[in-house]
């Protein structure tokens, strides 16, 4: 089957041809005809199967056939994403597929100036791709409304649940109009996700291209049992012995990701970290360096497991295996994309064995056990010290200098502002008021002079009650 057999409009076919896309993936073959009919859809497909095009192409076709003005401070289509990276990638896909349509696409997520987003949305937008938190912030500020939404997409629903977005999602559901088309996508469909789908969908068609919690078939899975403290040495050996084009290295914590990067840099190995504590500029810089091949190693927490769509990832290394089986599926789904082969290597410490058993039960796959290499103990003894903590990749020397200059100017401005009242307190002869010279204790004199001036008198001490009591002058 080819895309031109699905009934998509000519501008979309032209854009797909320009990207050299000819044959739809299984999820696209099943979802696109249903969505072109205007039905609600519940799609189950693991990452890397083409879910984005499955909902983007029929939605763009709808806009091509039904042009109308965008609602003020609103949108015609809303796509919710769990992470900033995934939101940015979805928005770019809409721009690519809709390049021959006159449609506006904007992203709404944290980490960037909110006023810039408000200005971009003020006249109305065709398609908005958002994360739930920032979307609700704009709605609460009355800078945006979703009451005119015609198409609503909830992508990576299971990740939304894992990240604690259940209550924001329920609130968003109440703000949407009743008359809309709903698209619900998830890599897995446990019972709680199915219950969430029921709040959004109306008589949906269900399509699935993979059983629950299945791993990509073209991924060769391996694991090595190793002490937690010795994982860094094992990682260095793997990076030297494996033929790696690009590798994603996953940790469970943000601190752990930064620590891995510092050890790699201490050994002269370039790597960037991407996680929630990084600024949006740092995350974008790291991801772009990884995508364009300037850096072969990207160390990430699970926040990036759904938001990284980079071709050519040959290896996924689980420095620490996840405690949720579904996260394992999403992690290794970053490799073996678009028909390529991939390798997933997991380092398993003793306290992680229960996590491994849960993963094996959920995926029904037992990874190949690889023993520790012969030179492992020597590698542990000779492990280089970690590099000192540094600024993120977005802080180039020029940027650091510019920031330091800005801080210096700010401090000088603050000093100037603090100095202005001091000059105002000086007398005509350039001396401070008499209370300051008499040393009446802890700045009392300066305070007294200030209050006398407010009183407007000639400086009589008796005009200030507290001063009368201190000097012993009679009340009067």
Same-domain pairing of 198 and 297: no
pLDDT above 70: residue 355: yes
pLDDT above 60: residue 470: no
CB 344 within 8 A of CB 316: yes
Mean pLDDT across 356-367 = 92
Q: Which of 184, 208, 232 is the last residue of a domain?
A: 208
Sign, CA torsion 156/161/166/168: negative
Q: Which of 361, 381, 401 is the last residue of a domain?
A: 381
Rounded CA-CA distance 405/402 in Å is: 5
Same-domain pairing of 186 and 280: no
Same-domain pairing of 199 and 226: no
CATH number of the structural domain spanning residue 125 = 3.40.50.300
Q: Which residue did the predictor score with more confidence, 125 or 453?
A: 125
Determine what percent of the chain is predicted with pLDDT higher than 90. 56
Q: How far is CA 269 from CA 10, 224, 235, 243, in A?
A: 48, 22, 11, 15
Continuous segment of H or E residues that includes residue 77: strand 75-80
Helix 132-140 × helix 166-175 angle, to 10°: 50
Q: Which domain holds residue 225?
A: 219-381
Tally of helices (H runs) and strands (E runs) in the chain: 19, 14
Strand partners, 247: 297, 315
Q: What angle do CA 377, 381, 386 make, to 5 degrees?
A: 125
- Determine if residue 188 is left, alpha or beta; phi over 0 gives left, psi from -120 to 50 gives alpha, anything else beta: beta
Same-domain pairing of 203 and 268: no
User: How do residues 210-242 score in pLDDT, each as one tens digit?
Assistant: 654 555 667 899 999 999 999 999 999 999 999
User: How do residues 111-142 score in pLDDT, each as one tens digit?
Assistant: 889 999 999 999 999 999 999 999 999 999 99
Q: Band of the pLDDT at 466, cuts 50, 70, 90? A: very low
Q: Which of 349, 381, 413 is the last residue of a domain?
A: 381
Number of domains in the chain: 2
pTM of the model: 0.67
């Amino acid at each position: 089957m080819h895309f031109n057999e699905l009934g998509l409009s000519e501008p979309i076919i032209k854009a797909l041809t320009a990207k050299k896309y000819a044959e739809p993936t299984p999820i696209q073959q099943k979802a696109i005809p249903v969505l072109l009919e205007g039905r609600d859809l519940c799609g189950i497909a693991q990452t890397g199967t083409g879910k984005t095009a499955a909902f983007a192409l029929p939605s763009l076709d709808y806009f091509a056939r039904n042009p109308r003005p965008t609602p003020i401070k609103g949108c015609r289509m809303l796509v919710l994403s769990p992470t900033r990276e995934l939101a940015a990638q979805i928005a770019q896909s809409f721009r690519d597929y809709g390049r021959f349509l006159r449609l506006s696409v904007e992203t709404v997520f944290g980490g960037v100036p909110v006023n810039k987003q408000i200005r971009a949305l003020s006249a109305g937008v065709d398609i908005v791709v958002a994360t739930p938190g920032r979307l609700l912030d704009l709605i609460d500020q009355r800078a945006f409304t979703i009451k005119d939404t015609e198409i609503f997409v909830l992508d990576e629903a299971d990740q939304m649940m894992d990240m604690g977005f259940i209550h924001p999602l329920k609130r968003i559901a109440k703000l949407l109009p009743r008359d809309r088309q709903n698209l619900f996508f998830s890599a897995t469909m446990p019972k709680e996700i199915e219950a969430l789908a029921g709040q959004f969908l109306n008589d949906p068609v269900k399509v699935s291209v993979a059983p629950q919690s299945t791993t990509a078939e073209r991924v060769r899975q391996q694991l090595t049992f190793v002490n937690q403290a010795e994982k860094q040495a094992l990682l260095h050996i793997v990076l030297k012995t494996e033929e790696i084009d690009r590798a994603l290295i996953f940790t469970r914590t943000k601190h752990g990701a930064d620590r891995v990067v510092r050890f790699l840099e201490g050994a002269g190995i370039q790597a960037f970290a991407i996680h929630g504590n990084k600024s949006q500029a740092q995350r974008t810089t790291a991801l772009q360096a990884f995508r364009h091949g300037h850096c072969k190693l990207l160390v990430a927490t699970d926040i990036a497991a759904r938001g990284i769509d980079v071709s050519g990832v040959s290896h996924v290394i689980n420095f620490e295996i996840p405690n949720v089986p579904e996260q394992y599926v999403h992690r290794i789904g970053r490799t073996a994309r678009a028909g390529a082969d991939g390798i997933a290597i997991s380092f398993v410490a003793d306290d992680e064995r229960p996590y491994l058993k849960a993963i094996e039960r959920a995926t029904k796959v037992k990874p190949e056990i690889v023993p520790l290499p012969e030179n492992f103990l020597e590698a542990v003894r000779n492990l280089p010290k970690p590099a000192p903590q540094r600024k993120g990749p977005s802080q180039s020397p020029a940027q650091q200098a510019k920031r330091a200059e800005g801080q210096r100017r700010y401090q000088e401005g603050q000093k100037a502002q603090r100095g202005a009242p001091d000059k105002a307190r000086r007398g005509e002869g350039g001396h401070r008021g008499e209370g300051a010279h008499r040393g009446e204790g802890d700045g009392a004199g300066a305070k007294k002079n200030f209050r006398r001036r407010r009183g407007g008198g000639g400086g009589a001490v008796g005009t200030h009650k507290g001063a009368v009591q201190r000097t012993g002058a009679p009340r009067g």
